[in-house]
Chains A and B, each alone.
Chain A
């Protein structure tokens, strides 16, 4: 089973603190790997400008690294900072890791003047071209994310061990948002791309549980003709893409996500102030209805964090914290480990209709219910 932990705080913290929370939740997971996604980054040895894109990935050979450099150069990126992890090679299970990539680039000069949407598209296409290049060369190059203020680390091994192996305990990297997941896809052959959190154009999610509606959802997303809707080495990747589709393509508010993946029943919609709109939305997005016990934890580019459950709430998750500092975890002990000095009586376990939103200001939780009125003009 996957164990999930997310911490968001106004003051940057070391991701290692989240790994200790993973350790607290070790009962019940196989600890086969680590996936980390960081936002709101600070580097001890570099003053980072949050507008600059960061490339995260792994070059498995010198040749792969050279090809990566070539692709980035050709696209017009200029390297500003190359984070050298303090790698303890003997602690890493895998033997073919030539270099962990965490590099800050300057956007290509030619992109100046482009609309935000165009730049976002080009960033994604660049990441996809790196991925494709790696796949064409025996998977010797893995690209997890290329986005401003987002760093991703994925590796096989015991989560805390991976953190130590990569020197995350040194405090050289800090972040305001850290998503961590403690498992590789051990159900099938291990593939680094199958490890949560998944990322597309600033949107990231991680999930536990199994999504049994995976194949029809994947088939539908693949048919959108959107270049980023690929991969699907894990059935949970569709949660990220659906969140991306709802917020970026349909441009609907975050609250609508829950209505798409777990729509209300007819009798509930009949009493909903926007029942007609939501019923139509349910029909139009019918192939995106998820199934299975899942807790989905996500983050958006503005550092908004969210937590939603499946419609039967067969996976638990807890959110707790205090103004300026919040934690979400699949187990309550995970929240305890991340923020021990909170008022536990204010912890919240969302029910099937809730979307827990932690806004970027981090002053309070928003608990959105599907029964509430939605702020969308279409439903007016």
Chain B
């Protein structure tokens, strides 16, 4: 037995087996080029000199029995801050396929120790709930086989757009037209929206690529896609460009970026698509936005009107407000007024058992243009683990409740409900989105899916990568470091945005055609939905099928 002191053991000591990801390295194939170590975003890999004893049998007493050999190899750090995040960038750069991270299927001990200096785990990304989610299990089972010829998704015309903005009851619309009174602004948009990811959270190249792709979808393909900015404003050139009409400008509790926006109003060539007032986010309800100091670069600092390199935590609530009712009154009206009542204004809230109460306040506010509910499976650039994993409300039942509540009041056409939070998290974006639409949503917002589909984000629900918060995104999607974001070619991102939306449009038709729907988006067509779970079917008021 060796002495205790000779083993490097502290309460926080870990071995590679205790970590969420284990680096498998094949020393025989390794050429020691060092690219993996150079590219590793968290610095977990190092080229190390190591010594190996070479025992040999020596009978003469004048010679020592063993000699030592030194060699060079790749080693994985077991430091908490430098643990492997499984991103696989090393694999991407290795010329010899000599290295790759492997998910540790044992329960990793790491999570018990990730509280160093009293700071609980913060990360970006997602909730890390692998496996099919509830939306993945909903099927469209009301196939039109009865008296109708089937629609042809490839040849027939389909109207798949939705409305964003306050829609008047028909009686009131007819009256106001006659009286020449104000009609609230309504936008016709594609029901799959690029959800709010801020300029700051996303790199300039990612932002540019998204916007280029969105503009192409609108102007060339006729798919009216819109994208939301998230908190933190909008690049000044975009504010003064004709592309602003594809942008949902978000104002959140930190009001970051709004100086720039307000100043740009007189110079705007067109109105933004809408204004989103963020009260909450599905991934971290009760938390404001958080841009960690790593990402507050010169341009971000300028845009947000803050010093460089400081953490930018937004407060959890809008500080000037006493309650959501007051907020509805003041902020929605102020924002409407800023654009002379030509731009829809709507709040975004976290999924919550109180969502219905917020909705009912909005119903009574003639200026509220929609409600966006963001469920627990939503993503974020930075949040505490505990918020992401365990705080919030799943989106399906939340949206369903809100929709049925509106139906009971006959107001389901007046306030569109948009749903977000986990749409497409397992890749089934159209299926998830259309399920939510048939549960009553007018459209869906998606963030993680777009990052994965359009920019190749490496994150998965197995907690792969998920370091959007520290500005070291290996793909250059969520980094403000030019060395990293230069990896991302905006043109290629734009191409992928276009690919993605073309594919979604085709899949929407492939869902609508067999249901016999082509004239309007099947919002609230719950008779088309089925699920193999009685309790869920009962809760969502849809059909149980098995």
Do A290 and B170 touch across chains, with their CB atoms under 8 A apart? no
Q: Do A224 and B410 form a contact, CB below 8 Å, given A285-B170, A286-B163, A293-B148? A: yes
Known: A216-B524, A250-B174, A312-B151. 8 other contacts (CB 8 A): A220-B407, A220-B413, A283-B167, A284-B170, A286-B167, A291-B516, A292-B144, A377-B178
Q: Which residues of A contact B413 (CB under 8 A)?
A: 220, 284, 286-287
CA distance A151 to B302 in the complex (A): 76
- Residues of B contacting A219 with CB < 8 Å? 407, 412, 524
Complex contact A281–B148 (CB within 8 A) = no
- A266 and B159 alpha carbons, distance in the complex (Å): 10
* Cβ-defined contact, B148 with A314, below 8 A: yes
Interface size class of B (residues with CB under 8 A): 35 or more
Question: Helix, strand, loop or mixed for chain B's interface?
Answer: loop
Q: Which of A156-164, A207-215, A297-305, A328-336 contacts B (4 or more CB under 8 A)?
A: A207-215
- Chain A interface: which size bin? 35 or more
Task: Identify 28 residue pairs between A and B in the complex whose beta-carbon atoms are under 8 Å apart, listed by A's number.
Answer: A1-B147, A210-B516, A212-B148, A212-B516, A213-B519, A213-B520, A213-B525, A215-B524, A216-B522, A216-B524, A219-B407, A220-B413, A223-B409, A223-B411, A225-B410, A245-B170, A252-B174, A265-B159, A266-B188, A280-B177, A281-B174, A284-B413, A285-B170, A286-B413, A286-B520, A287-B412, A289-B519, A291-B516
A262 interface residue (CB < 8 Å to B): yes
| Bound Cα distance A266, B186 (Å) | 14
The answer to whether the Cβ of A249 comes within 8 Å of any Cβ in the partner chain is: yes
With both chains docked as a complex, state the minimum distance between the C-beta of A294 and any C-beta of chain B, in angstroms: 9
A68 contacts the other chain (Cβ, under 8 Å)? no
Whether a CB of chain B sits under 8 angstroms from the CB of A77 is no
Least CB distance from B83 to A in Å reads 50
* Contact bitstring A193-230, B, C-beta under 8 A = 1, else 0: 00000000000000011101111100110111100000
A292 touches B148 (CB 8 A): yes
Residues on A with C-beta less than 8 A from B516 are: 210, 212, 291-292
Inter-chain contact A215/B525, CB cutoff 8 Å: yes
B159: nearest chain-A partner, CB-CB: A265
- Given A220-B412, A266-B188, A290-B519, do A378 and B177 touch, yes or no (CB 8 Å)? yes
Evaluate contact between A215 and B517: CB separation under 8 angstroms. Answer: no
- Encoded as 1 (CB less than 8 Å from any A CB) or 0, chain B from 132 to 175 comes to 00000000001010111101000011010001000111110110
How many contacts between A and B, using CB within 8 angstroms? 113
Interface flag for B523 (CB, 8 Å): yes
List A contacts of B408 (CB < 8 A): 223
Which of A220, A252, A284 gathers most chain B CB within 10 Å?
A: A284
Chain B: minimal CB distance from A235 (Å): 10
Chain A residues, Cβ within 8 Å of B426 = none
Contact A283 B163 (CB under 8 A): yes
Assess whether B518 is interfacial by the CB under 8 Å rule: yes
Interface contact B171-A249, CB-CB below 8 Å: yes
Residues of A within 8 A of B177 (CB): 277, 280, 378-379
Which of B146, B174, B186, B410 is A210 in contact with, Cβ under 8 Å? B146
A-chain residues with CB within 8 Å of residue B148 when the two chains form the complex = 209-210, 212, 292-293, 314
Please determine whether A378 and B174 come into contact, CB atoms closer than 8 angstroms.
yes
- Contact residues, B9-53 vs A (CB, 8 A): none
Pair A250/B183 contact, Cβ less than 8 Å: no
User: Top 4 closest A-B pairs, CB basis?
Assistant: A223-B410, A212-B516, A378-B177, A284-B173
| Bound complex: CA A186 to CA B178 (Å) | 45
| A187: interface (CB < 8 Å) | yes
- Tell whether B527 is near chain A: CB-to-CB under 8 Å: yes
Give complex CA distance A357, B452 in Å: 55
> Which residues of chain B in 31-80 are interfacial with respect to chain A, using CB atoms and an 8 Å cutoff?
none
Interface residues of B in 178-211 (CB under 8 A from A): 178, 183, 186, 188
- Is residue B444 within 8 Å, beta carbon to beta carbon, of the partner chain? no
Instruction: Check: A311 CB closer than 8 A to any chain B CB.
Output: yes
How far apart sit A17 and B516, CA to CA, in the bound complex (Å)? 35
Convert A290-330 into 0s and 1s, putting 1 for each residue whose CB lies closer than 8 angstroms to a CB of B.
11110000000000000000011010000000000000000
Tell me how far the C-beta of B187 lies from the nearest C-beta in chain A, rounded to whole angstroms.
10
Contacts of A187 in B (CB 8 A): 146
- Assess the A280–B183 pair: CB atoms within 8 A: yes
Given A223-B407, A280-B183, A212 contacting B173 (CB threshold 8 A) = no
A250 touches B159 (CB 8 A): no
Q: Are B525 and A284 in contact (CB under 8 A)?
A: no
Task: Report yes or no: A312 in contact with B518, Cβ–Cβ below 8 A.
Answer: yes
**Whole-angstrom distance between the alpha carbons of A290 and B515 in the complex?**
13
B102: min CB distance to chain A, Å: 49
Closest to A214 in B: B527
Q: Is the CB of A215 within 8 A of B170?
A: no
> Which A residues are CB-close (under 8 A) to B525?
212-213, 215-216
Q: Which residues of A contact B146 (CB under 8 A)?
A: 187, 210
With A210-B144, A266-B188, A280-B173: A378-B178 Cβ-Cβ less than 8 Å: yes
When C-beta atoms are compared, the residue in chain B nearest to A267 turns out to be B222
Q: Which residues of B contact A249 (CB under 8 A)?
A: 170-171
Residue of A nearest to B161 (CB): A266
Does chain A have a CB within 8 A of B466? no
Instruction: Give the distance in Å from the alpha carbon of A209 to the alpha carbon of B147 in the complex.
Output: 6
Q: Is the CB of A284 within 8 A of B167?
A: yes
What residues of B have a CB within 8 angstroms of the CB of A287 in the complex?
412-413, 523-524
Chain B hits for A262, CB < 8 A: 519
Chain A residues near B520 (CB-CB < 8 A): 213, 286, 289, 291
Check if A210 sits within 8 Å of B147, measured CB to CB.
yes
Compute how far the CA of A147 lies from the CA of B121 in the bound complex, rounded to whole angstroms. 72
Bound together, the chains give a CA A265 to CA B159 distance in angstroms of 8
